[in-house]
Amino acid sequence: MSKHALVSFKRDKHIRTEITLTGSKSECNRALIISSLSKGKVKVENMSDAADTVTLNRILNSLSSGHPQRQTVDVGPAGTAMRFLTAYLSVQTGDFLLTGTERMKQRPIGILAEALKSIGASLSYAEQNGFPPLEIKGPFRQRSEKVSIKGDISSQYISALLMIAPALPEGLRLEIEGELTSLPYVKMTLDMLKESGISYTWNNNVISISSQPFSGATLTVEPDWSAASYWYSIAALSEQAEISLPYLKEKSLQGDSRIREIMTAFGVATQQTAKGIAISTAEKHFDGAVLNLKDCPDLAQTIIVCAAALGKNLAFTGLETLKIKETDRIAALQAELSKIGVVLTEDNLIYTLDCSGLNFPQRVRFKTYEDHRMAMAFAPLALLIDEVVLEEMNVVEKSYPAFWQDLEKAGFIVNVI
């Protein structure tokens, strides 16, 4: 039977705490692939304990190169692992069946798979065209060093290709078609490759990486700014907050570090400290501009729910990728926000909140749709609602396993029902 969390906050809404966040899932997953491609030359420190990262690390450690029989590689619900391993397994020697949960089989992979096939990967669809499971066979026999891929789809497709580029016999010349979504994540990948001794060029919309060896390096994973976003939301919804988040850097590889800039309008100030950062309540000053989240779509649920709870009729754009995540995040937000009287509408890729009917019932039960970010985006509403029930509470293990314990540390009451 699924476990649900009943979250409440009984005392005054003044929060003073220190929260040490797990390592960034985005950084760590890239570091693990790079380390494996380098055959151990690149070391990884401050590993994330997110379920997706644990899954990817386990798979990479269990694979047998050149195994005579087919190996089934099951990523479960780990979307990043599915995308990165699609490229990684393409350059390994062996016969692999790459699969996942039923929801994973509904998430498209065709753009990446076809790009890999165009340069020489032996890859086919085991069930439905364009979707997992995938049959992948190596060794890789490169027939082209050029590949084009749309920039307005998941940046993980681009990152997956870039990470295997140094291992390709002829390297890779990757052309990005159109506007690039989630630019910071592509920059993160390139910066981590550079730290690992890989050189590249980026001219206009073409990234070129030659065939070259990795050098010895250590990739130290920064704490997760996506996880930090929930504490920004908590600070924005509290009457007064002083929250310390150790080890987060002022200059971060993570695109989600933009939360510190976005949340100034929500009345949350960020100060760099000797230990990391400290966030605190300040004056709110919304300017009415459309908020473009193209570079940080994983922040969307946190920001939209927080804005709704504050009764702000904000507008957002850059949310195109949300419909192909763990769930259709747009539809999920629309359904769950309606429970507090808020409407989220879409008009020509601009999403607008209508908070005219905002109300806080004594108790609200929110579905999480097997999506970790739904659970963590709605949990802070316990500051405004007497009892908040989050279904399937274990979904947070995907990226932030200690989330419920950290809430309790900050004064929330979390009961399992």
In terms of domains, do 143 and 269 share one? no
Question: E strands within 326-406?
Answer: 343-347, 350-354, 363-366, 387-390
Residue range 4-16, pLDDT digits in tens: 999 999 989 999 9
Q: What is the pLDDT of residue 1?
A: 62
H helix count then E strand count, the chain: 12, 22
Whole-number Å distance between alpha carbons of 14 and 235: 9
Q: What is the pLDDT of residues 332-347, one digit of tens each?
A: 999 999 999 999 999 9
Distance CA 394, CA 112 (A): 30
Does 215 lie in the same domain as 312?
no
Q: What share of the chain in percent tops pLDDT 90?
A: 91
Clarify whether 298 is annotated catalytic: yes
pLDDT reported for residue 388:
98
Do 264 and 339 fall within a single domain? yes
Residue 132: give the domain boundaries.
25-220
Tokens at 51, concatenated = 């379920």
More confident residue, 120 or 323: 120
Same domain, 54 and 132: yes
The percent of residues in the chain predicted with pLDDT above 70, rounded, is 99
Same domain, 179 and 198: yes
pLDDT at 178 over 70: yes
Nearest CA to 370 out of 400, 397, 399, 392 is that of: 392
Residue 21, token pair as written in the block: 């966040």
Last-in-domain residue among 198, 220, 242: 220
Q: What CATH number is attached to the domain comprising 378? A: 3.65.10.10
| Residues 279 and 340 placed together within one structural domain of the fold | yes
Domains identified in the chain, total number:
2
Same domain, 84 and 202: yes
pLDDT, tens only, 184-219: 999 999 999 999 999 999 999 999 999 999 999 999
pLDDT tens by residue, 374-393: 999 999 999 999 999 999 99
Residues 238 and 165 in one domain: no
Out of 205, 220, 235, a domain closes at 220
Judge if 209 and 252 occupy the same domain. no
Task: Inform me whether the pLDDT recorded for 66 exceeds 70.
Answer: no
Based on the fold, state whether residues 59 and 181 are members of the same structural domain.
Answer: yes
Indicate the residue among 204, 220, 236 that finishes a domain.
Answer: 220
Which of 52, 224, 295, 298 is catalytic? The answer is 298
68-123 confidence digits (pLDDT tens):
789 999 999 999 999 999 999 999 999 999 999 999 999 999 999 999 999 999 99
Q: How many CB atoms lie within 10 A of CB 157?
A: 23
Comparison of pLDDT for 66 and 324, the residue scoring more? 324
* Alpha carbon 335 to its chain's center: 22
Q: Are 46 and 193 in the same domain?
A: yes
Which tokens sit at 135? Answer: 């049959």
**Between residues 261 and 320, the one the model is more confident about:** 261
Q: Per-residue pLDDT tens for 132-165?
A: 999 999 999 999 999 999 998 889 999 999 999 9
Confidence label for 240 from pLDDT (cuts 50, 70 and 90): very high
Closest listed residue to residue 240, CA positions, set 268, 200, 212, 202: 268
- Mark whether 348 and 391 lie in a shared domain: yes
